[in-house]
Amino acid sequence: MEKLRFALLGCGRISKKHAEALTALDEAQIVAVCDVDQARAEKLGNKLKVPFYVDYDDMLAKEAIDVVNILTPSGLHAKHTTDVAVKYKKHIVCEKPMALTLSDADRMIEACKKNGAHLFVVKQNRYNLPVMKLKEAVIAKRFGKMVLGTVRVRWMRDQNYYDQDAWRGTWALDGGVFANQAAHHIDLLQWVMGEPEEVSAHITSRLVNIEAEDTGVAAIKFKNGALGVIEATTATRPKNLEGSISVLGEKGTVEIGGFAVNEMKLWEFSDDEKDKENLSEFKENPPNVYGFGHIRYLKDVIDCIKNGKGNPVDGKEGRKSLKFIISLYESAEKGNPVRLSKALGHSKLGKLSGK
């Protein structure tokens, strides 16, 4: 079987998960890595036994590549995606969030569409076994009328974490806990609860010195009438506590906990006698907050490119959760509820300080 040739653009923290996942897949082969920090690029390249570069144009001109995984700071995703798609016509796997502004997201979608490139946005938590089981219940309408959806991210990121790279915690290139660490959980909330209609949010930075927030809370009203709650912080001390989602409906309740939305804690439906669930079947024990989803997600990416299977999470789907995140920041800055039907784009996210 001919392997798809992947290149990693960005050799920071998340590159390890992509490298591990692609190495574990028989249908994939990592052929090159690139980072503006030569030491980082060299370290990962040597570990994978592939060429390393500090200039991605140089890498793409010299290497035979099918897919480029964009693992750079969030504020650079749009530039790197459009460059790779327009100049080199390569498929793109882009880490979350796909961009920091909706105009950038639209530019990425259009660039890939015009140049015949698939755009995949990484949402690996959708591939956690308990989460897939939850989505099945939503699709089957087992909850009946949806009542309340809640996500909690209680992780630890100290000052040392933010000081490792100058872009971390900045408005221009990263954002805070909503845009970075909780982006996957916010995506899951709208994926299972439906389209949000109105949000009311508050943010603050309590324990670290960064431009953006280390802690945020929000109340959500969904179009279907259900309500939602987001609680997200990187100020948990002394270590990661949880990454969770719970869904309450007219006919049932599901809670998924663990520190990576990876452990089925509660599965109860009024019709549960017909399919009594063994909760242990839907428990996973990943070694870190990233979970096991990257392997499953990237396997679907390969299947889409090689066999025409539907795109697991395309640019339009990635844009939905980005719009949700941007609405949270706009509400927090305005101090008022924000309706998602209104024009968004007035928050600090994706802009230089003071702009």
> Would you list the DSSP string of 325-345?
HHHHHHHHHHTS-EETTS---
Strands 242-249, 227-233: pairing kind: unpaired
| Residue 290 and residue 17 in contact, taking contact as beta carbons nearer than 8 Å | yes
Give the pLDDT score at 290. 43
At 251-304, the pLDDT tens digits run 999 999 998 899 999 999 998 655 555 566 776 655 544 445 799 999 999 999
At 41-71, the pLDDT tens digits run 999 999 999 999 999 999 999 999 999 999 9
Give the pLDDT score at 289. 42
Can you tell me the mean pLDDT for 172-177? 98
* Mean pLDDT of all residues belonging to the chain: 93
Give the pLDDT score at 328. 98
Per-residue burial over 2-39, b if 16 or more Cβ lie within 10 Å, else e, is: ebbbbbbbbbbebbbbbbebbeebebbebbbbbbeeee
pLDDT at 161 over 80: yes
Give the pLDDT score at 166. 96
Can you tell me the mean pLDDT for 19-44? 97
Closest C-alpha among 298, 333, 237 to residue 67: 298
Q: Is 153 left (phi over 0), alpha (psi -120 to 50) or beta?
A: beta
Per-residue burial over 163-181, b if 16 or more Cβ lie within 10 Å, else e, is: eeeebbbbbbbbbbbbbbb
Task: Provide the CB-side half-sphere exposure for 181 (13 A, CA).
Answer: 32
How many whole angstroms separate alpha carbon 30 and alpha carbon 200? Answer: 43
At 308-325, the pLDDT tens digits run 999 889 999 999 999 999
| pTM for the full predicted model | 0.94
At 80-121, the pLDDT tens digits run 999 999 999 999 999 999 999 999 999 999 999 999 999 999
Other residues' Cβ atoms within 10 Å of the Cβ of residue 225: 11
Closest C-alpha among 339, 332, 336 to residue 347: 332
Q: Tell me the three state secondary structure of residue 245.
A: strand
Q: What's the chain's Rg over C-alpha atoms? A: 20
| Residue 119 and residue 109 in contact, taking contact as beta carbons nearer than 8 Å | yes
Letter for the amino acid at 336? N
**Structure tokens of 220?**
């959500």
Helix (H) or strand (E) holding 314: none
Does 286 sit behind a cis peptide bond, omega within 30 degrees of 0 on the bond before it?
no
Task: Provide the CB-side half-sphere exposure for 45 (13 A, CA).
Answer: 20
Can you tell me the mean pLDDT for 331-350? 92
Phi and psi at 301, nearest 5°, equal -60, -45
pLDDT at 238 over 60: yes
- pLDDT band for position 167 (cuts 50, 70, 90): very high
Does 238 sit behind a cis peptide bond, omega within 30 degrees of 0 on the bond before it?
yes
